[in-house]
Structure 1
């Protein structure tokens, strides 16, 4: 917990720790003055998506609403922002939780985000879409009637089906109302076969997820969605799993490693997942377990039946955190944050031999003020680091 408190106090996380069953275990960063602009200058996070036409879209929240903008020059300039959401008092946006955008194969834009509905970080997921090139968005629709949804994400298969996933506490909320002792968080799924106009299913497909760490989602080689999350084993062991989405069946999570991290607090460190043309599942994560501590990489060549021995990376003495992974064209890239007490830097590496060996870490960007978590994204030809910082603004950095 000391390491987590240092990360928060250092300003590496843009928002206060989430209220949950573990409340009171994390330090809170100093409050920042409210920013009333709708521009990226007031955003805590920024998430990119590339369309089929090569345009880059970006989604963020500011001044209580979610916005989208397009860039035709890889982030050097952006069009005027377009409002996606209705005004809200608080968006669930802190680096781990953040609005997401999907540019569909037909050219539509589907946005998904969560509002915080109370001071216990109970969220409510909404979705909406644009069918006119991002000039306007339909009125947002709630994914569910009740509250208790966070860390939403979505992906589109080659078939056109969109799968949405989120962490869901509806069973916990119902049990509490009935006076029952139940503290579980589920992984829920929904599907859209009409390009994001509506979603069906909306059911919990796995139990015992850590309630304060983001989900990771990717497409397997056959186009089937994969999900990775921090799972709660036994009473309180928080290690990672990957599961393949198979129609309407329950998720069958495969354990990535036995880190044995028993912690009665919010790690606020979700995994990242990437699948290359070879079909290997590549995953990176953070742990503070008994068996290992820090950032780690592993891969599975047999659809999760086994995973490689966890491979550590990042400088522990520089508080390495928030890793990302992306696989494309026979190469794997990874990126992460490091903090030396003054400067936050994003380090990157790549591997051309399926993660067996990596080139030397190189600093891709740095800042001396608050910053978002790093993201890796590709336009199908180039792999980029996407990063938002308070001082420098939004940066899209091409990686070698």
Structure 2
């Protein structure tokens, strides 16, 4: 029997399988199956009523999709090659189908990476915000954040803004954007402005942006965080924004924290749970957060005590504190579907108080994209394998949005000639 990978093995392998811009070798042919095996299909019947493949308007070679939802329409951004240049693209899926794809930005200076990629958000008035990363210095990790706005469904874009006041070379990325519910946009990112100081540390910083392009103050949320894990934002609907991210202590403990933004500004972060993951390096594996009123949920990957696990915790007080976490990947039975969890999570709260979580797991046959409903105080009650990837490269970070019973999920699918974007509409089983 082969040795199960440790969390550190998973972190190293994730970098090899998921890299872009010189980090990937040749890709092998891909085979996407539904259902991948009868056990997964039988378990998935509890969760999934229907799965529909959604053809996307992205060309071959497109990768790193991000999703947003606004008034029932699904908005998607992605990256696409254009000769020697790279394009940031977007399109809108409404009841009439997809819009024509729009070019948001094109250039030769984009930072193209499997883990730090563009994102999209829609302000309350319909203004579209898309961010991407542009190189700012000689080092591979010298790059800045740029955000463009469109007020006409992506037909035209204002010149991009840089949300961070710091203009020094170094990493500025892993961005999350979230409408505030008051006509603005909250923006957070990881910021390396102090990496060259006497006490080097990556920071989590934040600002606000209006539909008119007015930037708020660039403020620090946390002065020491993990350096390359994705961040996540959610709005409670009561004027509060929640930010989830991987924190970092002086002793190299890298667990998940949540900070709250209110009318008074950013409050001190609180730990979601003391996993105690001691790892001397970034696992490139950030959390995901969802919120609705006083309820919130955070999903994350941890490798504490040498055990790879996907966990989830609920909050009933608007993100001020979180209950005991539950493990959703199957635990000691080898994982749901027999795989080893690698993380790369996304999460959405459901109307009945449960949460839907997605993650990636490895098994001998390939890489599984998993979905599960999680009840408060319980574990994964309805697992399903959405797809199995048999290519030599990874699906990277699948992204998910929910519209009622329908969940839209998109990911980068490796192909023998490059990448392509896959999307599914998953209709969840009706709950009593």
For residues 227-266 of structure 1, the aligned pairs below 5 Å read 227-247=243-263, 249-266=265-282
Q: Deviations over 1:239-278 (max 9, x none)?
A: 111110134645411111112112112200000111135x
Unaligned runs of 5+ in 2: 1-7, 29-56
- Seen in structure 2, the aligned counterparts of structure 1 residues 332 and 364 have a Cα distance that, compared at 3 Å, is same
Q: Which has the higher strand share?
A: 2
2:100 equivalent to 1:100:
no
Unaligned runs of 5+ in 1: 18-27, 176-180
Q: 208, 214, 233: which is aligned to 1:191? A: 208
d(CA) in 2 for partners of 1:73, 1:97: 31
| Contact 2:410–2:421, Cα closer than 8 Å, also in 1 | no
Q: Deviations over 1:193-222 (max 9, x none)?
A: x31523121222321110110111101241
Higher relative contact order (CA 8 A, sep 6+): 2
d(CA) in 2 for partners of 1:154, 1:58: 14
| Contact 2:205–2:220, Cα closer than 8 Å, also in 1 | yes
| Contact 1:332–1:355, Cα closer than 8 Å, also in 2 | no
For residues 1-400 of structure 1, the aligned pairs below 5 Å read 1-9=8-16, 11=17, 13-15=18-20, 29-30=24-25, 39-52=58-71, 54-63=72-81, 64-72=86-94, 78-94=98-114, 96-117=115-136, 118-144=138-164, 145-147=167-169, 148-173=171-196, 175=197, 181-192=198-209, 194-195=210-211, 197-247=213-263, 249-277=265-293, 279-290=294-305, 293-314=308-329, 315-316=334-335, 318-320=339-341, 321-330=343-352, 331-351=354-374, 353-354=375-376, 356-369=378-391, 370=393, 371-380=395-404, 382-391=406-415, 393-400=421-428
Deviation at 1:151, TM superposition (A): 0.6
| Contact 1:205–1:249, Cα closer than 8 Å, also in 2 | no
Matched position secondary structure for 2:14: helix
Q: When the two structures are superposed, what TM-score results if normalisation uses the length of structure 1?
A: 0.84
Q: When the two structures are superposed, what TM-score results if normalisation uses the length of structure 2?
A: 0.78
d(CA) in 2 for partners of 1:16, 1:87: 14
- Seen in structure 2, the aligned counterparts of structure 1 residues 167 and 248 have a Cα distance that, compared at 3 Å, is farther
Q: Deviations over 1:296-319 (max 9, x none)?
A: 111222344542222112255623
| Contact 2:58–2:421, Cα closer than 8 Å, also in 1 | no
Deviation at 1:155, TM superposition (A): 0.6
Matched position secondary structure for 1:138: coil
- Seen in structure 2, the aligned counterparts of structure 1 residues 399 and 335 have a Cα distance that, compared at 3 Å, is farther
- Seen in structure 2, the aligned counterparts of structure 1 residues 6 and 14 have a Cα distance that, compared at 3 Å, is closer
- Seen in structure 2, the aligned counterparts of structure 1 residues 311 and 381 have a Cα distance that, compared at 3 Å, is closer
Length, aligned pairs only: 371
Give the superposed CA RMSD: 2.6
d(CA) in 1 for partners of 2:112, 2:345: 21
Matched position secondary structure for 2:195: helix
d(CA) in 2 for partners of 1:48, 1:251: 28
d(CA) in 2 for partners of 1:196, 1:348: 38
Between 202-211 and 386-395, the greater mean CA deviation after superposition: 386-395
d(CA) in 2 for partners of 1:380, 1:209: 35
d(CA) in 1 for partners of 2:369, 2:259: 29
Matched position secondary structure for 1:237: coil
Deviation at 1:32, TM superposition (A): 5.7
Q: Deviations over 1:335-377 (max 9, x none)?
A: 11122233222111114x4353542311122222242322220
